[in-house]
Structure formats: C-alpha cells, structure tokens
C-alpha cells in the first residue's frame, strides 16, 4: 500500500482515542464480567473487520486478504498467550478487579514494543532479502520445538526484570489499591502490581519474537503488519476475561499453532520458488486453528486429583516460555 504519513497519523489517533475511551469506561478497578468482555471482544473484532473492509474498498482484494490473514495469525497466537497471563495472575494472586488495569497498561507497552519490532523488521527485510530466509528458518525451528518439546517451567517471581527491580527498589508488602508505585516517608516503593506489569511486558516481548516474523510471510507492507498487530493486541484484554476460565482446555491449540508456525516458516523459505496464494494461507491457518480449538473443547476434561483439589493454592506457579 502506498500509504502516506496521514494514514499512520489517523490510525494512531484512532488507537489513542479508543484507549482513552476504554480507560474511561474501566476507570474504576473492578472485575470484568463475561458479558462485558464478550461485548468488548465483539467491538474490537467488528472494528478490525470494518478496517479490513476499508482496505478492500480503497486498495483492493490483495491488501485486504493480507491484512485479514495477518490478523487471524496474530489473534491465534494471542489466544495462546492468555494461558500464560492466567498463570502470572495466579502466581502473584492478583485480585480480579486489578487484572484489567494491568492488562490495559501492558497493552500500551506492547504497542510500543511491537511498533519498534515491526519497524526494525520491515527495514531489515527491505534492505537485506536474505532476512526472510532467516525468519523462515527461525519459525520452522520454533514451531517444531513448540510441538515436540515439553513446556519449559519457570517461576514468574524469578523473572530477571523482577529480580532487578527488587534489588533497585523497596517493595510494599501488600497491594496499594490499583497503584504501581507509592511514596512512603519520602521513599519510592514498587507495589506487587508493578512487578506483575513488568512480567506481563517481558512475556509479551518473548511472544513478539514469534509473531512479528510470522506476519512478514503474509505481507511485507509495514502498514498492514502494524495495523493487524495493533488490532489483535487491542482485543487481547477483553478476550482474556472472556476465555480465562476455559483457555486451559485448549490442549491441542499448541499443536495447531506449531503447525501454523512451521507452515509460515516454509512459505518464507520457499519465497521466490513457490508462491503460496494469500487466500490459501488464510484458509489453511484459519482451518487448523479452528480445528485445534474445537477438538480441545470436545475432549473430555481431566478431573483434578483429590489430593490436588484439597491442597491450598501453591506458593509458586509454572509459566511457560517459548
């Protein structure tokens, strides 16, 4: 797309306006109901589809399909991220009324990081064509490891960023409402909510390493890469509260995403040799993700053992890193 600077300006103004509206609606720390999460999820998906319709109207079928495929890929990867967010909140025992606030500011940081990653990636791809093959090989290896290797277990509290903050700043012993930092007796303290925010940001940084290269297999247009990423991220908070109670049942989603990563990686490696149409990529990705989710939901859930059910919440939880 031969986008002018005004396309970028207007889109980012729109994003900023939506974030202000969202923060205004949820300015009070409160738990988000499933009904409210469903409404907001529908709003974000509808806005993405309307934006896609606008691309189709002004730019034609090709860019519209590229945006939609990129959006589906990013949205699918985002669903898998929800499990990690749930584990992080459980580990730190974050009250449900404070979780939306963490995710709201986590999204702000994610937008900045994704923008930087996309800018660097787009520059590298346009400057050095072989970077596409590097991205492709990386995605194939990541997908295979994702499918074959058991999940890596680590404690969110041992995150390097968290350890650094604990060394640099004193930490309050309890929640200070919805505040990230507080000043007591002239000294600045970090709250547990601030640590949770840092872990969320560090986790998204890891996820971006997978998602950003993946979308360059669909389109190399920086505007389409950026906008599809932004729409997927903006709907992540509402999606978390909509799916938080069932996301752990998506046991086969990991294999579906692994297939998608490998498929996209192979597509990048075959660049210039075999051209896989965007519409074919969209159908394959959407079908695999949908099947993995449906099969997961049809699978009979494994009931917890009596011993596990009777125990108190563990002092440390496991979180997954790729």
Cβ pair 58, 268 in contact under 8 A: no
| pTM of the full structure | 0.78
pLDDT-based confidence at residue 26 (cuts at 50, 70, 90): low
* Rounded CA separation 267/215 (Å): 11
* Rounded CA separation 256/290 (Å): 9
Cβ pair 193, 94 in contact under 8 A: yes
pLDDT mean over 70-97: 82
Query: Is the pLDDT assigned to residue 53 strictly greater than 90?
Result: yes
Cβ pair 67, 227 in contact under 8 A: yes
pLDDT tens digits for 217-240? Answer: 888 888 898 899 889 888 888 888
How far from chain centre, in Å, is Cα 134? 23
Closest alpha carbon to 26 in 178, 154, 147 = 178
Task: Report the share of the chain in percent with pLDDT over 90.
Answer: 5
C-beta atoms surrounding 39 within 10 Å:
12
Q: Ranked by mean pLDDT, which of 40-44, 107-111, 144-148, 268-272 comes out on top?
A: 40-44
b/e per residue, 174-185, with b = 16+ CB within 10 A? eebebebeeeee
Q: Which residues have C-beta within 8 Å of that of residue 28, sequence separation ≥ 6?
A: none
Cβ pair 139, 210 in contact under 8 A: yes
pLDDT-based confidence at residue 279 (cuts at 50, 70, 90): confident
User: Which element (helix H / strand E) includes 319?
Assistant: strand 319-321
Q: What is the pLDDT of residue 14?
A: 87
Q: What is the pLDDT of residue 281?
A: 85
C-beta atoms surrounding 282 within 10 Å:
19
Beta strands in 102-203 (DSSP E): 152-154, 181-184, 187-190
pLDDT-based confidence at residue 320 (cuts at 50, 70, 90): very low
How many CA atoms, within 13 angstroms, populate the side-chain half-sphere of residue 16? 7
How many CA atoms, within 13 angstroms, populate the side-chain half-sphere of residue 170? 11
Q: Ranked by mean pLDDT, which of 111-125, 152-166, 235-249 comes out on top?
A: 111-125
The residue ranges of every structural domain in the chain are: 5-152+200-299
For helices 192-215 and 160-168, angle between their N-to-C axes, nearest 10 degrees: 150
Q: What is the pLDDT of residue 280?
A: 86
């Amino acid at each position: 797309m031969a986008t002018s600077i005004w396309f970028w300006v207007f889109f980012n103004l729109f994003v900023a306006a939506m974030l202000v509206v969202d923060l205004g609606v949820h300015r009070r720390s409160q738990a988000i109901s499933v009904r409210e999460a469903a409404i907001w999820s529908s709003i974000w998906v509808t806005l993405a589809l309307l934006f896609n319709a606008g691309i189709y109207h002004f730019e034609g079928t090709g860019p519209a399909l590229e945006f939609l495929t990129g959006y589906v890929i990013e949205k699918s990867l985002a669903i898998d991220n929800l499990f990690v967010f749930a584990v992080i909140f459980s580990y730190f025992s974050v009250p449900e009324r404070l979780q939306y606030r963490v995710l709201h500011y986590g999204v702000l940081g994610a937008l900045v990081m994704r923008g930087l990653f996309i800018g660097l990636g787009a520059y590298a791809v346009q400057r050095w064509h072989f970077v596409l093959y590097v991205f492709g090989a990386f995605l194939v290896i990541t997908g295979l490891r994702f499918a074959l290797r058991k999940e890596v277990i680590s404690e969110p509290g041992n995150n390097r960023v968290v350890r650094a903050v604990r060394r640099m700043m004193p930490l309050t012993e309890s929640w200070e409402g919805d505040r990230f930092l507080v000043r007591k007796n002239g000294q600045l303290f970090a709250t547990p909510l601030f640590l949770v925010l840092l872990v969320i940001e560090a986790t998204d940084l890891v996820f971006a390493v997978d998602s950003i290269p993946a979308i360059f297999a669909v389109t190399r247009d920086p505007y389409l890469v950026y906008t599809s990423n932004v729409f997927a991220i903006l709907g992540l908070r509402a999606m978390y509260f909509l799916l938080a109670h069932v996301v752990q049942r998506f046991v086969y989603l990991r294999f579906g995403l692994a297939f998608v990563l490998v498929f996209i990686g192979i597509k990048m490696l075959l660049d210039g040799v075999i051209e896989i149409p965007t519409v074919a990529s969209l159908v394959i990705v959407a079908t695999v993700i949908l099947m993995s989710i449906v099969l997961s939901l049809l699978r009979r859930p494994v009931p917890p053992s009596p011993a596990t059910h009777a125990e108190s919440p563990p002092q440390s939880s496991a979180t997954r890193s790729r």
